[in-house]
Amino acid sequence: MLVLGIETSCDETAASVVEADGPGPVGHVRSNVVRAQLREHERFGGVVPELAARAHLEHIDAIVAKAMAESGVGFADLDAVAATGGPGLIGGVIVGTMTAKAIALAHDKPFVAVNHLEGHALTVRLVEPVTFPFLLLLVSGGHCQLLAVDGVGSYTRLGTTIDDAVGECFDKTAKLLDLGFPGGPAVERAARAGDPRRFDLPRPLWRKPGCDFSFSGLKTAVRLVAATLVAGDATGIADLAASFQRTVGDVLVDRCANAFDLFRHRVGNGDGGTVTMVVAGGVAANLHLRERLSGLAEARNGRLVAPPVALCTDNAAMIAWAGLERFRLGMVDGLDFAPRPRWPLDEKARAAIGRSGVGAGVKV
């Protein structure tokens, strides 16, 4: 089974063809083309929605053509065409869904609208035989959520951020420390040379019950400490980056520990059987955080599974794979599907609060 996926919900224009090897998890990526819009947004220090939409429009046809050529298959060989239908910056989502619908119509293939977050959630099953249910920590530029994943399209939110997303916090920290954009990888690089114990930063909601997160106090504390550093103090910058990253690790571990207990209780796994926790989204590319979460999972008689780093940040293989998983369960969409700027994974839960600053409110 072959599916073409298209991703345009933020600042990556991406297309990919994936193939399923059998009826369950694990497939392979035949092509995965990503064009990151770095130049377009760099001088603004964040994604500017209108510029993003125009860049998607300019590049989408060439990116799809490249993904098809590299996949070695033609449109006629596809079983379905998938695109991110939301949540995200609406101009970009319109470009991606219109392109996918046009291809689907021209080649008489079904169209599948994929929730971008479901793309992150299911990516792990493209590469590893992870079965349902699993515990998911979804950490990206617009999200920080803990979810129980019971199946394709079946999510229960256990906790979410009450203010900022963790990726946004990395991006803000990078900006304050003048480390460049995108911020997450820059903070991780700077932190390697730093002392993670030098600055004692606040850990919001630390040791409180529940699985919600809060990062705004940490963000403010980083700003206040950064203001005390003199310009060009490379050691101070590295120490602050490392202290910040360690603090984020402390917070994620604390919240995930509660989620482990809640999840075990939910699935009736009181005997302490192994729980699989998956970490996904752009921030899951961070190796320090992976290590910390892996330690927690082991301590709780669980295991941590994370997709390869290249599949953590936005790409279209995750959309193609989620589209494939939906398609084979008969979950297809009409060509009248309306792109959604907001689209919670767990529709029963109240809407989360989005990120602030440039590109505010995306992916909620």
For residue 324, give the amino acid letter.
Answer: L
Closest CB 168 distance from ligand KG4, rounded Å:
6
For residue 224, give the amino acid letter.
Answer: L
Give me the residues paired with residue 279 across strands: 137
User: Looking at beta carbons only, is 67 or 179 nearer to ligand KG4?
Assistant: 179
CA distance linking residue 113 with residue 320, whole number of Å: 10
Q: Does 110 bind ligand KG4 (CB under 6 A)?
A: no
Binding mask 116-145 for ligand KG4 (x = CB under 6 A): ------------------------xxx---
Listed ranges 35-43, 52-60, 181-189, 250-258: which one lies at the site for ligand KG4 (CB under 6 A): 181-189
Find the helix or strand (DSSP H, E) in which 20 lies: strand 12-20
Kindly tell me which residue out of 134, 155, 170, 244 binds ligand KG4, with binding defined by CB under 6 A: 170
Binding mask 285-314 for ligand KG4 (x = CB under 6 A): xx--------------------------xx
Find the helix or strand (DSSP H, E) in which 33 lies: strand 27-36
CA distance linking residue 166 with residue 6, whole number of Å: 25
- Which of the residues 9 through 28 are near ligand KG4 (CB under 6 A)? 10
User: Looking at beta carbons only, is 185 or 339 nearer to ligand KG4?
Assistant: 185
User: Looking at beta carbons only, is 172 or 264 nearer to ligand KG4?
Assistant: 172
Q: What token pair was written down for 259?
A: 């989620």
Residue reference for tokens 């699935």 = 267
User: Looking at beta carbons only, is 6 or 104 nearer to ligand KG4?
Assistant: 6
Q: Does 167 bind ligand KG4 (CB under 6 A)?
A: yes
Kindly tell me which residue out of 183, 344, 354, 359 binds ligand KG4, with binding defined by CB under 6 A: 183
Kindly tell me which residue out of 49, 85, 87, 185 binds ligand KG4, with binding defined by CB under 6 A: 185
For residue 52, give the amino acid letter.
Answer: A
Residue of 110, 11, 99 lying closest to 62 (CA atoms): 99
User: Looking at beta carbons only, is 140 or 243 nearer to Zn ion?
Assistant: 140
Name the strands in the sheet holding 302-305, side by side, starting at the edge strand that comes first in the sequence: 154-160, 144-151, 134-139, 275-280, 302-305
Q: Does 12 bind Zn ion (CB under 5 A)?
A: no
CA distance linking residue 296 with residue 240, whole number of Å: 24
Query: CA angle, 32 as apex, 26 and 34 as ends, to 5°?
Result: 135
| Number of residues forming the site for ligand KG4 (CB under 6 A) | 21
Closest CB 96 distance from ligand KG4, rounded Å:
14
Beta strand 12-20 with 27-36 is antiparallel
Q: Does 182 bind ligand KG4 (CB under 6 A)?
A: yes
188 binds, among Zn ion, ligand KG4, none (CB under 5 to 8 A by kind): ligand KG4
Give me the residues paired with residue 115 across strands: 86
Q: Name residues whose C-beta falls within 8 Å of residue 271's C-beta, 6 or more positions apart in sequence.
A: none
Q: Does 314 bind Zn ion (CB under 5 A)?
A: yes
DSSP character for 308? Answer: -
Site residues, ligand KG4 (CB under 6 A): 10, 140-142, 167-168, 170-171, 182-185, 188, 281-283, 285-286, 313-314, 363
